[in-house]
Structure 1
Amino acid sequence: METRSLLLLLFAITSLFISAIGGQLYLGRWKLLKRSIGISAMHMQLLPNDKMIMFDRTDFGPSNLSLPEGKCISESHNTDCFCHSVEFDSINGNIRPLTILTDTWCSSGALSENGVLVQSGGYRLGERVVRSFNPCADCDWVEDANGLITPRWYASNQVLPDGKKFIVVGGRYQFNYEFIPKTSSSDQTLYQLPFLKETRYSPLIPNNLYPFLHLSADGNLFVFANDRAILLDYVNNKVVKNYPVMPGGISRNYPSTGSSALLPLILHGNFSIIPNAEVFICGGTLPDSNQKADAGEFIAASKSCGRLVINTANPSWEMEEMPMNRVMGDMIMLPTGDVLIINGAAKGTAGWNSAREPVLSPVLYRPNTPKNNNTSRFEIMSPSTIPRLYHSTAHLISDGRVLVGGSNPNRKYNFTALYPTELSLEAFYPPYLSSNTSRPSITAIVPGVNLGYKQKFSMWFQLKEEESLGNIYVTMVAPSFTTHSLAMNQRLLVLAMDDNGVQNVAAGNNYVVHVNTPATPALAPAGYYQLFVVHEGVPSKATWVHIK
């Protein structure tokens, strides 16, 4: 334990962005932010006030943080006075304990158009609950015990174009979907989705849990389960496209647990042009690996990845390989449009004590790099010292860092297990945050941060005095709800810039660029986004904007 603490301390104070390990150069660096936040961060959601909401499950047992007086939880004749949810201020590092009354274990969530976190499902008394958290100074969780028609444990959520409605898909023994909140008669209907039953690799398995969901550029819903996908017209409850099976025989959803992202949507100045919507899926393992792990045999995870343009007439998978095997990796979109794959293990699956060989090094995936025999799109990053396995999370924050927390493959809080319960929170600094790299800074958004669709706005930004103007682009990132290697609702758009390009408007390296907002809510559901300007591959800090 003393050796491990020393290693954590060394990583907390290191300032090296490039370190030589075994003769190989690794990029990026890590910093320990909190040795303990009091809970294990199983779920994360960034709010538009730059506060991060984190929580685990209410039946984990004693955490390292107590609830405020009078907030103890009573369930099944047990009284729990320990906190299982916190608000973390990503700017000053402060932690505020929050109260959840019902079990949130393996639940899902999304951010609404007005910035409220809407969170659904869980275990036992939490399985039909819809919770909300409003981003204000002293707000706490509000819970609706009957917010769902049917129990949802390991279900997935996707915000719909209006930003007010959410689709909740699947869950244990649930081959269906429904909508929340219940504001109309159609929301009281349970819609069957046989695809979720058909894609089980064995009738003995409840189903493929936590399906991957992505809102396509036309407003339909891409649903992926294990090794295949459909495009769902959820308005008419109709499957409008069946996609080819992903090659390789690998299962990608829980408990095999690969990861998925919608690659950047590159928008056009011509609003009538719909951009390609391309899904990227990596990792996972063989379908029977979970049963073998339960028997003590830990199968190597997969290296394979696939890309699929989901809104073309005849889509086909483009396959490639990561530098290492990985299961339970988190896939986080960086402001540059690159993808960070972080956390996970090289063997086994998700589940209690079901994985071995933690993968400590993230990899950076550059989707725009041409694919050929001499060039890899992947780049290995500097390793952490902390294994992040089952129930770990990661999330982009507004200054460009990636927060990493959680990991508890144990049934309770256990600090002496092979892979102990992790209460720590650390930050990964991607290579663009190198100490010798200067960052652009956004100085103004004109006419303001409240935007509409098909609108032109001006972004003013500044470079360092000695820096010459290089390649510039503007990205808009939707913050995700992350849990179990899913970044639900994660979305990145590269905005179309005016043909006049970037203009130098004042002394001191001040510039302005005129930018078009997305054309439709299908491209960018109404709500809050982090707006970045990227100069020569280095992003600014984000400015929050709101579109509706």
Structure 2
Amino acid sequence: MKTASPFLFSRTSLFLFFSLFVFCQGGQFQPGEWKLVKKSIGISAMHMALLPNNKIITFDRTDYGPSNISLPSGRCRRDPHDQALTTDCSAHSVEFDPADRSIRPLTILTDTWCSSGALFPDGKLVQTGGFNDGDRAVRYLSPCPGCDWVESQFGLSVRRWYSSNQLLPSGKMIIVGGRGQFNYEFIPKASKSDISLYDLKFLRETRGSSAENNLYPFLHLLPDGNLFVFANTRSILLDYVNHRILRTYPEIPGGDARNYPSCGSSALLPLVLNSKKETKAEILVCGGAPPDSNAKANSGVFMSASKTCGRLTATDDSPEWVMEEMPLRRVMGDMIMLPTGDILIINGAAKGTAGWGVAREPVLEPVLYRTGMVGNRRFEVLRGTSIPRMYHSTAHLLPDGRVLVGGSNPNIRYDFMGVLFPTELSLEAFSPPYLIKGSPRPTITRINPGLNLQYKTRFSVEFDSKKKDGGVYVTMVAPSFTTHSYAMNQRLLVLEVAGVRQVSGTHYVIDGYAPATSALAPPGHYLVFVVHGGVPSPGKWVHISSGGN
């Protein structure tokens, strides 16, 4: 067994080595597998998050009529300004347990349409903004049995609709932008500075001629603790502590808009940790649409979506975008980090934009982006689904290594007939190629000295593996909040490894180091995976903080 460590492998060779194993076995390409997990969860999964108790939380908007699942105990939502029903006794949020496929309806009383969120360090899901009576709301859901949403209707300083969230090294959360909001703020409101609102002229400048295409801006926390902000075609590095722009990056080439409603997607590529080297941060932006696509689609002309990806090393002294072409055009695609460090691009359409009925030609096939490959070897088209996942579809990595997919087109009053793309209440799971049937997976048996980690400290992962060859490495993945083609707070770290020891038979110990700073890994819960021979173990939850609690 080889140790895959930043000490021993370059970034490219590390992922090249493992990606080659994943996709071929006996010379045959493995395209992945789809499975219908639940025919109906009662709502359309417009927003999706994973809690540290392994439960998936989904919710849609509350103002488009009754869902297909009732609220518990006869509870009802009453809103005289609702666009469909002033009294609604159906649920618009559910807790889904992937282990037994059970569903528990949850109570949301303010409108969550096109809202945002992330997990706080204590594992609590924090969800912000929305529409109508929910545009200044902050909602909290704790990962505990029987817990329900707790709402503060005026928890935000201003209205937030189509904004983005990012957990910060301090454990606070920054909320950026939204329709008509060219500023940012912080939660919780624990100090005077948290109550303040901070202007961000960059958002006003990137609106474009349609006064949009910069909603749901892409946020990525860099290893120095500053925030990369991408909107429309432009990006900056924001020092949110001193409220100044540190640098302006080159504009992404090609002219296509990348944010809502043109809806490309973005991910921070794996952060490979090495105490002897500076940690590089690369941003990937894929898909989108021409900037006037939304206006044209609303008049019945559906333009082709973008086929390009841009890759930028944001930590370089003179960064430049490196452009690539996907094998399929895609708008409204989700980019989900896999435990191996590769990216799954899934959901969406080949023409049009985000919005009600303004996209055509569903893209049913996911595409794998192998982060360590070079050139046109990075992309691989995988097996497709039979269910179109268009506007308001979502995806999320599960602890077992599958990707859960849900949502699509929650039409007014939950129309299932007479519309081009009916409201979709189902959940599917996609098994990436590394989950090859009959291929043994490593299993984490113990993490020493425990599941509460402290920064910089050395720890070990015990695991069982029946494989006799192939390198091994450890990844640490932050759970995201996914909506509108953007997985907020998504993050994957390849941990620094000291070595691997065979204890007995199929039992091994890999020694490594926790991330050194909260800028690399903001405090909170992460899934740890052992990847052996290109195959990840099921994830194991850990918590990291300066105190290890």
User: Which residue of the partner structure matches residue 169 of structure 1?
Assistant: 176
Contact 2:30 2:436 in 1 (8 A): no
Secondary structure at the counterpart of residue 482 of structure 2: strand
Report the residue type matching 1:52 in the other structure.
Answer: I
Contact 1:402 1:429 in 2 (8 A): yes
Contact 1:250 1:284 in 2 (8 A): yes
Residue 412 of structure 1: how far off its partner (Å): 3.7
Report the residue type matching 2:452 in the other structure.
Answer: N
Report the residue type matching 1:255 in the other structure.
Answer: P
Contact 1:161 1:521 in 2 (8 A): yes
Report the residue type matching 1:217 in the other structure.
Answer: P
Contact 1:134 1:140 in 2 (8 A): yes
CA distance in 2, matches of 1:532, 1:414: 41
CA distance in 2, matches of 1:424, 1:25: 28
Residue 239 of structure 1 is aligned with which of 225, 240, 245?
245
Once the two structures are superposed, the pairs formed by residues 326-475 of structure 1 within 5 Å of their partners are 326-371=330-375, 375-408=376-409, 410-416=411-417, 417-464=419-466, 467-475=467-475
Residue 151 of structure 1: how far off its partner (Å): 0.2
Contact 2:410 2:424 in 1 (8 A): no
CA distance in 2, matches of 1:207, 1:386: 27
Contact 1:39 1:423 in 2 (8 A): yes
Q: 1:173 to 1:395 in 2, by over 3 A?
A: same
Residue 248 of structure 1 is aligned with which of 241, 254, 278?
254
Aligned identity (percent) is 64
Residue 436 of structure 1: how far off its partner (Å): 2.5
Contact 2:212 2:261 in 1 (8 A): no
Report the residue type matching 2:473 in the other structure.
Answer: Y
Once the two structures are superposed, the pairs formed by residues 283-298 of structure 1 within 5 Å of their partners are 283-298=287-302
CA distance in 1, matches of 2:147, 2:323: 46
Counterpart check, 1:187 vs 2:190: no
User: Which residue of the partner structure matches residue 5 of structure 2?
Assistant: none
Counterpart check, 1:160 vs 2:152: no
Report the residue type matching 1:321 in the other structure.
Answer: E
Report the residue type matching 2:263 in the other structure.
Answer: T
Residue 302 of structure 1: how far off its partner (Å): 0.6
User: Which residue of the partner structure matches residue 272 of structure 2?
Assistant: 266
Residue 238 of structure 1: how far off its partner (Å): 0.1
Counterpart check, 1:42 vs 2:83: no
Question: 4+ runs of 1 displaced by more than 4 Å?
Answer: none
Q: 1:409 to 1:140 in 2, by over 3 A?
A: closer
CA distance in 1, matches of 2:438, 2:278: 39
Secondary structure at the counterpart of residue 69 of structure 1: helix
User: Which residue of the partner structure matches residue 59 of structure 2?
Assistant: 55
Counterpart check, 1:315 vs 2:316: no
Contact 1:352 1:411 in 2 (8 A): no
Residue 90 of structure 1: how far off its partner (Å): 1.6
Contact 1:197 1:207 in 2 (8 A): no
Contact 1:409 1:419 in 2 (8 A): no
Residue 93 of structure 1: how far off its partner (Å): 1.1
Contact 2:163 2:215 in 1 (8 A): yes
Deviations 1:132-176 (A, max 9, x none): 00011010000011100100000000000122x100000000000
Once the two structures are superposed, the pairs formed by residues 35-114 of structure 1 within 5 Å of their partners are 35-76=39-80, 78-114=86-122
Secondary structure at the counterpart of residue 195 of structure 1: helix
CA distance in 1, matches of 2:29, 2:114: 37
Report the residue type matching 2:327 in the other structure.
Answer: P
Report the TM-score, using the length of structure 2 for normalisation: 0.92
Contact 2:445 2:462 in 1 (8 A): yes
Contact 1:230 1:239 in 2 (8 A): yes
CA distance in 2, matches of 1:139, 1:70: 17
Report the residue type matching 2:404 in the other structure.
Answer: L
Residue 69 of structure 1: how far off its partner (Å): 2.1
CA distance in 2, matches of 1:120, 1:91: 28
CA distance in 2, matches of 1:108, 1:185: 23
User: Which residue of the partner structure matches residue 4 of structure 1?
Assistant: none
User: Which residue of the partner structure matches residue 229 of structure 1?
Assistant: 235
Residue 505 of structure 1 is aligned with which of 490, 503, 506?
503
Secondary structure at the counterpart of residue 73 of structure 2: coil
Report the residue type matching 1:32 in the other structure.
Answer: L
Contact 2:213 2:258 in 1 (8 A): no
Contact 1:28 1:430 in 2 (8 A): yes
The worse-fitting range, judged by mean Cα deviation, of 434-443 and 352-361 is 434-443
**Uncovered stretches (5+) of structure 1, i.e. residues with no partner:** 1-16, 19-23
Q: Relative contact order, CA 8 A, sep 6+: which one is greater?
A: 2
Report the residue type matching 2:153 in the other structure.
Answer: A
Residue 124 of structure 2 is aligned with which of 106, 112, 116?
116
Report the residue type matching 1:186 in the other structure.
Answer: S
Deviations 1:99-121 (A, max 9, x none): 00000000000101000001100
CA distance in 1, matches of 2:213, 2:513: 42
Deviations 1:36-81 (A, max 9, x none): 0000000011000000110001112111101112410000171100
Deviations 1:167-209 (A, max 9, x none): 000000000000011110001111000000111211x525621
User: Which residue of the partner structure matches residue 489 of structure 1?
Assistant: 489
Contact 1:113 1:162 in 2 (8 A): no
Query: How many positions carry a matched residue from both structures?
Result: 515
Contact 2:129 2:138 in 1 (8 A): yes
RMSD after superposition: 1.4
Deviations 1:396-431 (A, max 9, x none): 010000000000163341101110000000100001
Secondary structure at the counterpart of residue 133 of structure 2: helix
Counterpart check, 1:210 vs 2:216: yes
Residue 469 of structure 1: how far off its partner (Å): 3.5
Report the TM-score, using the length of structure 1 for normalisation: 0.92
Secondary structure at the counterpart of residue 114 of structure 2: coil
CA distance in 2, matches of 1:223, 1:377: 25
Secondary structure at the counterpart of residue 390 of structure 1: coil
The worse-fitting range, judged by mean Cα deviation, of 377-386 and 273-282 is 273-282
CA distance in 2, matches of 1:514, 1:288: 52
**Uncovered stretches (5+) of structure 2, i.e. residues with no partner:** 1-21
Contact 2:34 2:430 in 1 (8 A): yes
